[in-house]
Structure 1
Amino acid sequence: MSTDFTPVRAVAGDGRASEIENLLREDLRGQSPYGAPQLDVPVQLNTNENAFAIPDEVAAVVAEFIGRELRGLNRYPDRDAVALRTDLAAYLGHDLTADHVWAANGSNEILQQLLQAFGGPGRTVLGFMPSYSMHPLLARGTGTAFIDAGREDGYTLSPEYVRDAIAAHDPDLVFLVSPNNPTGTALEPEVIDAAYGAARGIVVIDEAYAEFARDPRSTALGRLAGRKRLVVTRTLSKAFAFAGARVGYLAADPELVEKLLLVRLPYHLSSITQAAARGALACAAQLQAEVDELKHQRDRIVKNLRAKGLPVADSDANFVLVGGLRDAAAVWRAILDRGVLIRDVGLPGRLRITAGTEDETTALLDAFDQALEQRPDMFDLQEQQP
């Protein structure tokens, strides 16, 4: 059972496609929109949100930034978001300036703009699934053909595998995710170098979960200098607990950033959004403390589930991918019945779990204990090493 998509079908009473469906672009007919189940349960660990609410003192700073903009809402916002881009560059470091940074309404819009500018009809983007499930949907929406090169055993990627895939397909864009969603694994630097060396087009490293990496040096930001076709995308949704604000951004060569202005909508990023993001960035150090706690809970999940005999990969994100499930759908339901919502991403024998608060993690681990005790037939446990 995959919960990545919510099917929507427009059909007439006799089962034929509706009039509107027939008017839809042919490549969109019969498709389903992206979605995740939003169920009213006590513990929600399914969408990789930051489990911690914005602290009161941070909320006060954000409110102060927003307040400065309120009386000027009769005017359009800074369409190029220069102040926000300056703050983002300062946060990223690596000698980046505002000219190296671009911001939009979530990293999805950033990726969409990259596809609008450098993809489109007659062009291709290469991805390595399983990975972020929005990548093929964004490609479809922009008329870009998505090519799935798959992954090696264990869902890994080696420099040779990536190089060979690029040589075989000659894409206009390459999407790589580090840490990868849903596996949680970070790319080795050699993989990024191999991709850039083999590709003739844009190479995008999606780093939505970069702040959760065990090794902060794993970011591709340090590889931007001298690589004009390399792009690193980020978001404030995860590490900054700002998912509701919808702020994503990228770092790249200034010339590439300038080309994105050709496809961005006028005044696409509201004054309120820009101000809120600047307030959050002003509190980056305080918010990073919560990142450390989420990393601790993530590693706690890994350690405890492994001790039960379930294979769990080391994760560099704010979630883990657990295997050893003989019936993943049944395990998902059993955990849900105990008040904890996790994610079935459609991988056989595996489920994805977002790191939560200490109490939420305890509830999750208790739910697994109860499911293992009551329905051991749902699991395929590994023999524990002494």
Structure 2
Amino acid sequence: MTWPPLREELRGIEPYGAPQLDVPVQLNVNENPYGPSLACAADIATAVAGAATTLNRYPDREFVELRTALAAYLSTDTPHGVTAEQVWAANGSNEVMLQLLQAFGGPGRVALSFAPTYSMYPEYARDTVTEWVLGRRESDFSLDLARARDLVKERQPSVVLLPSPNNPTGTALPPEAVATLCEAAQDGIVVVDEAYGEFRRTGVPSAVELLPEHRNLVVSRTMSKAFAAAGLRLGYLAADPAICDAIRVVRLPYHLSAVTQAAALAALRHAPELLGKVDELRAERDASVDWLRTRGLQVADSDANFALFGTFADRHAVWQGLLDRGVLIRETGPDGWLRVSIGTADEMMAFKQALTEVLEEEAP
């Protein structure tokens, strides 16, 4: 037997991860470029110091206080409100998704999404021995609802994964698309991944509003993006309480540390400040999309804090040209496309200058 005795389907696979390079302008992993204020950081430090005095004890495994605070925050997105019993959290939305696949996927079951989609989804399916089925989006990255519904009815997935805004394209789903697929997937759950939900454009609703109408709907969020807390690793979801109860079966004991709970609660107390740059980033995104289009490039409509643009005969050469000029973006998405995270005004100016030079260099 080959050593180590790894599962055969995992042999030769590289671990997931974007390049982490020390360059002046890092616009490749959709981070919020604005960190917490000194006052917010001090409050988090005080909260963590308090938790440190009780580290000899296990944390609250039901993290009731945190779930209550997250429910209050989510309730601002729906007139129906959200209760603590409808909320679950884990170490980043990645662990939330993995727990959902552990609970509702598995051998003999199907997880389904529509390409292009988040590149980690098939890995969650693989890791839980769940069959992975991939439909296709249209050329503008929207969903043909009739075709999508037919695929769901044909394959009867136990989990449907719908990022909205979509990663890597930035496009959001209309409420009717979510409702249609929830009705089609009666024997499974439909997960609307709103990791970038706070960046959606005015008038684009959150799927949280649809929770009372669909017991199989799950809406996931993260504190990594709009909350400027990627280093905190806190993701969460809202769903029917029965779904939260089911996740308890597969969660690891005391999976959220006392330190994580304390830091997340402190960050939520500073939500207005941490979310204060969202409008500025939206404006910078829209301006960047317009600028890219003036350069003759295709750009996907974006409700996220990034823009997908192209197309290039050799996208790697463009990516490398930007990197050579100290600007790191992401080589991801369909062939020929690149994705840039929205940074500060200065960072976006550096990106535009570098891309202008690369395009002029690449021009025939």
- 1:226 maps to which of 187, 208, 213: 213
Residue type at the aligned position of 2:23? V
Which runs of structure 2 are paired with 1:1-386 in the superposition (5 Å)? Answer: 18-20=2-4, 23-93=5-75, 94=78, 95-199=81-185, 200-215=187-202, 217-377=204-364
Residue type at the aligned position of 1:75? R
Contact kept? 2:141, 2:171, Cα under 8 Å = no
SS of 1:203 mapped into structure 2: strand
Contact kept? 1:158, 1:191, Cα under 8 Å = no
Mapped partners of 2:140, 2:203: distance in 1: 23
Mapped partners of 2:360, 2:145: distance in 1: 42
- Please, which moves more after superposition, 288-297 or 44-53? 288-297
Shift of 1:217: 4.2
Shift of 1:309: 1.2
Structure 1: runs of 5 or more not aligned: 1-16, 378-386
Mapped partners of 2:70, 2:337: distance in 1: 36
Mapped partners of 1:163, 1:64: distance in 2: 50
- Please, which moves more after superposition, 219-228 or 156-165? 156-165
Distance 1:102 1:216, change over 3 A: farther
Identity rate, percent: 53
Mapped partners of 1:267, 1:310: distance in 2: 48
Deviations 1:51-104 (A, max 9, x none): 112211211221222222121111110001100000000000031111010010
Structure 2: runs of 5 or more not aligned: none
Shift of 1:18: 4.1
Deviations 1:217-251 (A, max 9, x none): 42100000032111001000001111111000000
Mapped partners of 1:84, 1:323: distance in 2: 41
Deviations 1:24-45 (A, max 9, x none): 1122223222111111110010
Mapped partners of 1:217, 1:285: distance in 2: 20
SS of 1:147 mapped into structure 2: strand
Contact kept? 1:162, 1:191, Cα under 8 Å = no
TM-score (normalizing by structure 2): 0.96
Contact kept? 1:119, 1:144, Cα under 8 Å = yes
TM-score (normalizing by structure 1): 0.90
SS of 1:204 mapped into structure 2: strand
Residue type at the aligned position of 2:46? E
Mapped partners of 1:248, 1:220: distance in 2: 16
Large movers: runs of 4+ above 4 Å: none
Contact kept? 2:137, 2:144, Cα under 8 Å = no
Shift of 1:346: 4.7
Number of residues paired by the alignment? Answer: 359
Contact kept? 1:212, 1:317, Cα under 8 Å = yes
In angstroms, what is the RMSD of aligned CA positions? Answer: 1.3
SS of 1:186 mapped into structure 2: coil
